[in-house]
Amino acid sequence: MIATNYGIMGNEQNIITSPIDGIVLGMTTIPAVKPGEPVCHIAQPTRKMSHIKKALNAVPASNICRKAKRDLATNMSLTVAEDRATDTQ
């Protein structure tokens, strides 16, 4: 699940899901989007999440990439569809 789509009167219309497992790179901040407009951009990693986390944790704390990760990634979660919930770590 990526987001919930609501109508103009606040009633839930549907849940927007990703066709792939991945990492959300960015999401729209515009409160209203038209059908067909992107809601977010998703990267599909070629490595396991455990390898990615290990590489990120190996970066020195003084590195600009580590600082950006700490400052920008304060509210992230990994969501995997139930039928694909195998080896996401």
| Domain extent listing, the chain | 3-84
Global pTM reads 0.51
Distances (CA, A) of 51 to 1, 31, 68: 24, 35, 19
Bridge partners of 40, per DSSP, are 27
Q: How far is CA 36 from CA 15, 19, 33, 40, 77, in A?
A: 15, 15, 8, 12, 24
Give the model's pLDDT for residue 37.
85
**Mean pLDDT on 31-59:** 82
Name the DSSP class of 56. H
Q: What is the pLDDT of residue 87?
A: 47
